[in-house]
Chain A
C-alpha cells in the first residue's frame, strides 16, 4: 500500500459561500428498484427461459435522503454499483424513482420540464457528446442552439470557460484529434455553456492523468465560486473529494452510510493512526511497535491503534535512531474501504 506524506493544508479550494436558503436539491426516502430476470447457465435453462421468466427485484437505491443548499459542492462516494449513478440519473430526470420524494430547484426532475432542464447539466466521465469529426467549437453551436443562449452571453461564457480551462488551441481541432484529457475539458465546457445552476458530475476525472485531474478539480471549484452553481460530484478518487468537497455523502448497496464533513468521516471510521518513521537503520525490526504496513527507501510505515499512538511514539523516539517521525490519519482510501466493509456487513 502506497502512502503519501503531504501537507494537509494545501488541498482545499475556495468555494462559494453558503446561505440559509431553501435546498437546491432535496431527496427524501428515495428508492429505485430494478426488476431483473434471473437465469441459470446451460442449454436447458436457456430453453426454459423461453417459456418461464424468473424475475427478482434488485434495489439500486434503497431509501436515501439528503439536502443540498444552493452553491454547495458535495462529493458522492461509493463503490461500483453502489447507486451513485442511479441517484444522479434520478436527480437529472433520466430515471423515475420507485418511491420517495425528489426535487431539484423546486422542480420534480422526472417531469422533465424545459424550464428545469435549462438549469441543469450532466457530465459523464468517459462519455462523449461532442461530434467526432468536427472542431469542438462547432459542436458548441449545437448546445448553444438547443439551450437558446443569446449571442452576447454565449461569447462571454465561452471566453470565461476558455480561460478557466485553457481551451484556446483545442477548440479548433477536430475532437478526434484531442487527447482524452483535452476532450474531457471540451465536454465540460460544452456542458456549461448555458450556465446551469445545478451541475451533476458523474466520475468526471476517471481515466485522466493526475495533472488533468487536478486541472479539472481546480476548474470545478472556480466555476462554483464564480457562478454559485450547486455541484454534486461522484467519484472513485479520494483526491477529487478531498480537494473540492466540504461535505461527503457515502453510499453503499443503495443505502447512505455517511453524510457530513470529510474530517468527521475520518474521525468516525478509524480506529488506527499511521506513524511514518525515517530511521538510520533501514533494516530495523519494528514489529513489536505496531503493524508494519510498508517499507519505502528508509521510510517505515506503521499502523497502531489510536489509543496507543502516544506510547508507541515515545518508545520509538527513545529506543531507535529516528531521523524523522510523522503521525497521521490513515489514507482516506483505507477509511472509505472500512466504511464500505462495515456497510456491507
Chain B
C-alpha cells in the first residue's frame, strides 16, 4: 500500500550529495542540447576579460602602482575575480534566480511540498556548466600573473588561498541568499542581478583603494572584498592572520544569518503569524 519511503542511504548528508549529483546531471543533460551556449559563454567571457585587461592597461599607462599593487598583482586580482565570479555563476546565481522566478509564478509550491530542505533544493537546482569557462580562464590569468611575479607559491599559501576562496564563495552565497529571500516581500527582485553585477565589479580593484566608508560597505554590506581581494592577498603575500580569521568568522556568521532570514521569509510566504 502507499506510505512513502523511510530514510534510505542513512539519510541526511549523503542524500544532499546525491541530490546535488542529480541536479548537476540534469543540468548537464539539458545544456548539452544547446552546445552553441558554449561558444556564446566563451565569447562573453573573453569580452569581459578584454574589458578588464584594457581598463588595467589604460590605468597603468599613467602609473605603475595602484594603492601599492603592481600591475602583475592587479592581474592576479583579475584572475581571482574571474574564478570567484565563475563559481558564483556556476550554481549560486542561476539557482537563486530560478528561485526568485518561482516565488512569483507559484512553482515554489512544488518545492515546498517536497520532504527535503527547501533552501538546499532552491540553492542547487540549476547548474550552468558553461561557467566553468570563467573558472578556467580565471586560473589561467592567475597562473600567468604568478609566473610574471616570480612568486613561489608554497603549499601553505595554496591551502590558504583555497580556504579563502571557499570562505569568499560561502560569503557571497549567503549574501545572494539574503537578497533572493527578499523576493518573499518584494515582487521585482530579479533586478538584484544587475545590482550584484555592478557591486561585484567593484571587486576588480583592491579594496584598500576605497575610502573607509566604501571599504566598510564592500566588506560588510556587500561582501565583495572577501570574494576577490582577500583570496588574492593570500597569493601575493599580503594576507594577515586577522583577515584570515575575519573571513572565516564572517562566513560562518553570514551562513547562519542567511539561514535564519530564509526561514523568516518562508514563514511569511506561508502566512504564518509573525
- The reply to whether A and B meet directly (CB within 8 Å) is yes
CA distance A34 to B269 in the complex (A): 12
Q: For residue A132, which residue of chain B has the nearest CB?
A: B30
CB pair B273 A147 closer than 8 Å: no
CB pair B116 A131 closer than 8 Å: no
Given the interface contacts A134-B30, A142-B23, does A122 sit within 8 Å of B116 by beta carbon?
A: no
CB pair A197 B30 closer than 8 Å: no
Interface centre among B9, B18, B33, B116 (most CB of A within 10 A): B116
A residues 87-131 in Cβ contact with B at 8 Å: 89, 92-96, 98, 110, 112, 114-122, 124, 127-129, 131
- Chain B, interface size category, equals 35 or more
Which stretch, A148-156, A161-169, A234-242, touches the partner chain B?
A: A148-156
CA distance A148 to B35 in the complex (A): 32
Interface centre among B3, B18, B31, B113 (most CB of A within 10 A): B113
- Chain A, interface size category, equals 35 or more
Given the interface contacts A117-B115, A145-B15, A145-B18, does A138 sit within 8 Å of B29 by beta carbon?
A: yes
How distant is B124 from chain A, measured CB to nearest CB, in Å? 11
Given the interface contacts A89-B109, A112-B112, does A142 sit within 8 Å of B26 by beta carbon?
A: yes
Q: Is A63 an interface residue (CB 8 A)?
A: no
Select one of B4, B26, B267 contacting A194, CB under 8 A. B4
Residues in B whose Cβ lies below 8 Å from that of A331? none
The count of A-to-B residue pairs whose CB atoms sit within 8 angstroms is: 114
Interface centre among B1, B15, B110, B273 (most CB of A within 10 A): B110
CA distance A138 to B18 in the complex (A): 15
Q: For residue A223, which residue of chain B has the nearest CB?
A: B2
CA distance A118 to B121 in the complex (A): 15
Q: Is B106 an interface residue (CB 8 A)?
A: yes
Residues in B whose Cβ lies below 8 Å from that of A138? 25-26, 29
How distant is A12 from chain B, measured CB to nearest CB, in Å? 23
Select one of A34, A93, A121, A148 contacting B7, CB under 8 A. A148
Residues in B whose Cβ lies below 8 Å from that of A112? 112
Q: For residue B33, which residue of chain A has the nearest CB?
A: A133
Q: Is B270 an interface residue (CB 8 A)?
A: yes
Which residues on A are within 8 Å of B, measured CB to CB?
Answer: 32, 34, 89, 92-96, 98, 110, 112, 114-122, 124, 127-129, 131-134, 138-139, 141-142, 145-150, 153, 174, 194-197, 227-229
List 20 A–B pairs whose Cβ atoms lie within 8 Å, in order of A's numbering: A110-B270, A117-B113, A117-B115, A118-B4, A120-B113, A121-B113, A122-B109, A124-B106, A133-B31, A142-B26, A145-B22, A147-B4, A148-B8, A148-B15, A150-B5, A194-B4, A196-B4, A227-B1, A228-B2, A229-B2
